[in-house]
């Protein structure tokens, strides 16, 4: 049985029978937008909230819903003496947060595939909930390279 992959979710571990290992001959132009990726830096946040694993879990769950994403799984870990990491597996991709309570800082990554989700809404909720006095948000589109979008690829033997 021949398997093909959706052009929206290319898997680099699958072999492309049309692929040539010569980067100068590959067309790097992009076709369809795969999704949107937001990188958020939160500064001068509430130290107690940054160190509260239960708060982080609730806030990540709410942020995923606010973005219009589907939460599949949530993993968190509290470090000693401080700091929490959370990773939400979304049907649309992922949301992660890493906190440094001693610095009042959190690093956030929100990537959602497709055009039905709003990762900026998740970022805004996180900014508000952690009480960030300042923040930096970088948002960009992730695009499928044309070579991956049109290729039929097969699993490696």
CA dist 23 and 40 (Å) reads: 32
**Residues recognised as catalytic:** 93, 98, 113
> Of 41, 50, 116, 42, whose CA–CA distance to 82 is shortest?
50
Contact of 18 with 131, CB cutoff 8 Å: no
Beta bridge partners of 95: 88, 110
Give the three-class secondary structure for 75: strand
Instruction: Give Cα separations from 18 to 25, 153, 156 (angstroms).
Output: 12, 8, 13
Characterize the bridge pairing of strands 30-43 and 134-145: antiparallel
> Of 17, 86, 19, whose CA–CA distance to 52 is shortest?
86
């Amino acid at each position: 049985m021949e398997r093909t992959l959706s052009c929206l979710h290319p898997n680099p571990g699958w072999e492309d029978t049309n692929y040539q290992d010569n980067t100068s001959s590959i067309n790097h132009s992009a076709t369809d937008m795969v999704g949107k990726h937001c990188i958020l830096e939160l500064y001068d946040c509430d130290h107690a909230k940054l160190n509260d694993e239960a708060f982080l879990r609730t806030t990540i769950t709410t942020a995923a819903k606010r973005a219009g994403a589907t939460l599949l799984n949530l993993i968190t870990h509290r470090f000693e003496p401080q700091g929490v990491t959370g990773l939400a597996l979304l049907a649309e991709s992922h949301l992660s947060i890493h906190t440094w309570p001693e610095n009042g800082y959190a690093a956030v990554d929100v990537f959602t595939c497709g055009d039905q989700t709003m990762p900026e809404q998740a970022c805004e909720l996180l900014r508000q909930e952690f009480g960030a006095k300042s923040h930096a948000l970088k948002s960009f589109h992730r695009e499928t390279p044309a070579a991956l979008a049109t290729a039929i690829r097969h699993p490696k033997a």
